[in-house]
Amino acid sequence: MESVTDKFLRYVSYDTQSDEESASYPSTKKQLILLNQLADELKALGVSDATIDEYGYVMATVPSNIDCQIPVTGFLAHVDTSPDMSGANVKPQIVSNYNGGDIILNIERNVSLRVADFPEMKAYKGQTLITTDGTTLLGADDKAGVAEIMWVVQYLQSHPDFKHGTLKVGFTPDEEIGRGVDKFDVTKFGADYAYTIDGGEIGELEYENFNAASAQVKVQGKNIHPGYAKDKMLNAIIIAMELNALLPPTQRPEHTADYEGFYHLVSFKGTVENAELHYIIRDHDRSKLNKKKAYLKSCVELLAKKYGDDVLRLGIGDQYYNMREIIEQHFHIVEIARQAMIKAGVTPLIKPIRGGTDGARLSYMGLPCPNIFTGGHNFHGKYEFITVESMEKACEVMLNILEVKN
């Protein structure tokens, strides 16, 4: 059997970065290279119904090998990597028997994983770490999940004595840009419930996430020669800055944690004539999210009264909701995962996701879908790392989830 580590190292060699500016689905053709490879690998493992559809969704079934009928479980992971940093030409570095100290990633660029910055590293002393070379992200989000699911399929196919119910496997594109399940057919997938294998550190078990909205504010300025601008010029950049200053600074991502929501200015571009701000707005409590949206609207209206109704335009809309509302109706699936972790010797870390997953949207589409750890840390950047031992434990937990229902 190919190890989960070897699978992971092979998958991160594929550049699968998604593109939020693209209108195609998937957003980048290069994702399809790995998705087609996964479909072929599943068939090579004897999973005869493995398919990839026009949107890049890979689906497959490992049939039950027990006599009684039990609920069908699904495991899902996404292949794309974040647009935040390059995922091309990834060169993983393997640190065996980690000594608990700082790790030099790139001498030439003076990039190191420092324990002072990432104290969680100390918990992995003696283990095998996989890091970047300091020039790209690693891709553990979520190629670790892909590798772990593929290893489990490989195990089930080569160990017919391991008794399990029916497993549905799904691999998706474009999760990182919020489109991962836009065209996902829950009925076709055929699971009663599922788990996204897309979490972080070992033990993470998540069934609640942010409610999410996005907002775009366009500012129409009036550009006049600065020598003759008195009482005439409207500087769109200044007005945009004034708007941002009206939002509470304590409700920014860098000042919030746990269940605290935020306004996050993710992009700002402008000239005197035109400016544009993009925000994401987050809160675990939907009523608080609605209040945040209302407050932003009131700030825009205030400045519109000051500068003119045609100067500011606000576009705002919801993106996804807290899956807790759905999962609590099927809480036994959280308990199944919790017991599977305990059986594997993993301490469950049940906490809210300060973000979102495909599972949140799938839960509202009729497929209850909590999130389980992959073992990775510091996703989306050059400080990303994962341990071999955590990946192996994720595989063990998945096997326990399948076996625990017997």
Residue 310 appears among annotated catalytic residues: no
Please tell me whether residues 194 and 264 are part of one structural domain: no
Tokens of 351: 């906490």
Q: What does pTM read for this prediction?
A: 0.90
User: 349 pairs with which residues across the strands?
Assistant: 204
Greatest CA separation for the chain: 85
pLDDT for residue 230: 97
End position of a domain, from candidates 290, 320, 350: 320
Distant-in-sequence, close-in-space partners of 247: CB < 8 Å, separation ≥ 6: 263, 295, 296, 299
Tokens of 359: 């599972």
Contact between residue 310 and residue 220 where contact means Cβ atoms under 8 Å apart:
yes
Please tell me whether residues 307 and 385 are part of one structural domain: no
Please tell me whether residues 9 and 109 are part of one structural domain: yes
| Cα(380)–Cα(372) distance, integer angstroms | 18
Distant-in-sequence, close-in-space partners of 274: CB < 8 Å, separation ≥ 6: 218, 219, 220, 221, 236
**Whole domain around residue 141: which residue ranges?**
4-208+322-404
H or E segment to which residue 204 belongs: strand 204-206
Please tell me whether residues 114 and 8 are part of one structural domain: yes
End position of a domain, from candidates 274, 293, 320: 320
Please tell me whether residues 125 and 199 are part of one structural domain: yes
Residue 175 appears among annotated catalytic residues: yes
Please tell me whether residues 356 and 233 are part of one structural domain: no
pLDDT for residue 406: 43
Please report, as a single letter, which amino acid is at residue 344.
A
Cα distances (Å, whole numbers) of residue 403 to 145, 221, 341: 19, 63, 12
Return the number of other C-beta atoms located less than 10 Å from residue 1's C-beta.
Answer: 11
Q: Residue 262 maps to which CATH number?
A: 3.30.70.360
| Cα(327)–Cα(315) distance, integer angstroms | 30
Cβ burial of 99 (10 Å; 0-12, 13-18, 19+) is exposed
Please tell me whether residues 216 and 200 are part of one structural domain: no
Please tell me whether residues 327 and 386 are part of one structural domain: yes
Please tell me whether residues 65 and 185 are part of one structural domain: yes
Q: Residue 370 maps to which CATH number?
A: 3.40.630.10
End position of a domain, from candidates 271, 289, 320: 320
H or E segment to which residue 75 belongs: strand 73-78
Cα distances (Å, whole numbers) of residue 404 to 4, 66, 187, 332, 380: 22, 13, 25, 12, 34
Per-residue pLDDT of the chain (406 residues; tens, 9 = 90+): 899 999 999 999 999 999 989 999 999 999 999 999 999 999 999 999 999 999 999 999 999 999 999 999 999 999 999 999 999 999 999 999 999 999 999 999 999 999 999 999 999 999 999 999 999 999 999 999 999 999 999 999 999 999 999 999 999 999 999 899 999 999 999 999 999 999 999 999 999 999 999 999 999 999 999 999 999 999 999 999 999 999 999 999 999 999 999 999 999 999 999 999 999 999 999 999 999 999 999 999 999 999 999 999 999 999 899 999 999 999 999 999 999 999 999 999 998 988 888 999 999 999 999 999 999 999 999 999 999 999 999 999 999 999 955 4
Among residues 15, 80, 176, 358, the one annotated as catalytic is 80
Please tell me whether residues 254 and 368 are part of one structural domain: no
| Cα(213)–Cα(287) distance, integer angstroms | 12
Q: How many domains, the chain?
A: 2
Please tell me whether residues 288 and 354 are part of one structural domain: no
Please tell me whether residues 101 and 174 are part of one structural domain: yes
Listed residue (260, 258, 259) closest to 248, CA to CA: 260
pLDDT for residue 404: 52
Cα distances (Å, whole numbers) of residue 292 to 254, 279, 296: 17, 12, 6
Among residues 175, 198, 206, 392, the one annotated as catalytic is 175
